[in-house]
Structure 1
Amino acid sequence: MKYASIALAAAAVFSTATHAATPMWSDEYTTQACETWNKDATLTTGLGDKWIKNDGGRGFKTIRIYRTECGEATQTEMKIVPKDGKAICEYGGAPKAAKMEYAFDYTMHATTEKWTEMGAGEYGPMKAMMFGRLKFVGPKVEAMTVMGPFETFLKLPGKIAGDKACPAK
C-alpha cells in the first residue's frame, strides 16, 4: 500500500509538470483569452454597440498585447468583430494584422507584475493608465467611454493560468 501511495504521488507530480501553464500573453494564452472573452457578457454585449462599430469600415478591431519585459517581439493579437449585436473575439494568437490603425485599434503592455495585479482586480483601467502601470496606444477617449468592459478585459489574466516565463518567439 505504501508503494501505491508513492506511485500515485509521483504520477500526480509528473502530470502537473507536463501540464504547466502557458506563458502569459503567449499565442496559446491569447487564444484562451479570446475564448474567455466570448463567454463574458460584459465584453461581448458591453462592447457590442458603439465601440465595435468604430472600425474605419474594416469590420474588425485589433488589440495587441504583450508583457513589457518580454519585448514587442512577443506581441499577440486579438481580432474583435461585430456579430449579432455583440463584440466577438474571432481570433487570438500570433499577430496577423498587416498594420495597426490607432484611430480604431489598441496596443497595450504592462509588466508581468502589473498584469497580475490588474488580473486580480487590485485596480482598474483608470488607475493603471494614470499611474503608467498599463502602457496604451489607441483611441484613449473611446476607451474612457467603456471603462466597465475595459476593466473586465484587464481581469483576463486573473481568469487564465499563465506562466511568468516570457513567450518564445
Structure 2
Amino acid sequence: MTKHLKGITAASAIALSIIAGTASAAPVLMSADWATQACESFNKNAILTDGLSGKWVKNNKGRGFKIIQMYRSDCEDSPHVEMRISEKAGKAFCSYGGKVETPKLDSDIDYVMYATTEKWHDMGAGEYGPMKAMMFGRLKFEGPKGEAMSVMGPFEQFLLLAGKVPSTEASCPTK
C-alpha cells in the first residue's frame, strides 16, 4: 500500500526533492563554481583546444599561461572569475577555473570580459557572436584585440560556455 503525502505518493515526493536538489545545485553564472565547470567544458571542446593552440596560447610572455577574467557588470560588487589557459600536449588547456588568483593582468596577453547578465545569456544562447557583441558594446573587452580577432571561431565557442555550462542567473555571484 502506498502512503500519500498531501495528494502525492511518497515515491513522487522523493523524486521531486531529488529534482529540486539537482536544479538548485547549478552554480550561479560567473561564480567560482561556474568557472570551474566552464574550465572542464572548455577542455572538452575541440574548437577551443585546437583553435587556441599554437600562436594564441604561446603568447604568454614565458609565464606558461594566459588569463581570462570575466564578470557580470549588472551585479554590483560582483567578484571576477578566472580561467587559466596553458599549453598541454600541443593544445590549449584550461588548467584552472575559479576565483581570481591573478590580481595583476598583463594587457598584452590576458583578457577581461564583462557584460550584463542578459547579454551573457544571449551570447551563451548563440543569439550573436563576438563580433556583434563587441561592435554593439554588448560585451566589454580588455586585452589584445588584434589577437582576439585572429581567433574568432574559438572566441565564439568560448562565449557559448555561458549557455552550455548549467547555471542560475537568479542571483549574483558572491565573494
Category of TM-score, reference length = shorter chain = over 0.9
* Structure 2 residue 30 is matched with structure 1 residue 9: no
Partner of 2:173: 167
Deviation string, structure 1 residues 119-150 (Cα, Å, up to 9, x no partner): 11110000000000001100011100000000
Instruction: Give, in whole Å, the separation in 1 of the partners of 2:43 and 2:116.
Output: 25
Task: Please tell me the root mean square deviation across aligned C-alpha atoms, in Å.
Answer: 1.5
Instruction: Give, in whole Å, the separation in 1 of the partners of 2:115 and 2:45.
Output: 23
Partner of 1:151: 156
Which of these residues, 137, 143, 148, is aligned with residue 142 of structure 2?
137
Partner of 2:129: 124
The 3-state SS of whatever aligns with 1:70 is coil
Instruction: Give, in whole Å, the separation in 1 of the partners of 2:44 and 2:52.
Output: 13
* Structure 2 residue 31 is matched with structure 1 residue 26: yes
- Counterparts of residues 89-104 of structure 1 (less than 5 Å): 89-104=94-109
- Matching residue's letter, 2:17: F
* Structure 2 residue 68 is matched with structure 1 residue 60: no
TM-score (norm 2): 0.91
* Structure 2 residue 75 is matched with structure 1 residue 70: yes
The answer as to whether partners of 1:66 and 1:72 remain within 8 angstroms in 2 is: no
* Structure 2 residue 46 is matched with structure 1 residue 46: no
Runs of 4+ in 1 over 6 A off after TM superposition: none
Instruction: Give, in whole Å, the separation in 2 of the partners of 1:63 and 1:154.
Output: 12
In percent, how many aligned pairs have the same letter? 54
Instruction: Give, in whole Å, the separation in 2 of the partners of 1:30 and 1:49.
Output: 24
Instruction: Give, in whole Å, the separation in 2 of the partners of 1:8 and 1:67.
Output: 40
Higher helix fraction (1 or 2)? 1
Query: CA shift at 1:70, angstroms?
Result: 1.7
Instruction: Give, in whole Å, the separation in 1 of the partners of 2:17 and 2:44.
Output: 31
41 and 77 in structure 1: CA distance in 2 versus 1, 3 angstrom threshold: same
Query: CA shift at 1:68, angstroms?
Result: 0.8
- Matching residue's letter, 2:153: G
- Equivalent pairs, count: 169
TM-score (norm 1): 0.94
Instruction: Give, in whole Å, the separation in 1 of the partners of 2:21 and 2:96.
Output: 26
Instruction: Give, in whole Å, the separation in 2 of the partners of 1:82 and 1:120.
Output: 28
Which of these residues, 115, 118, 137, is aligned with residue 120 of structure 2?
115
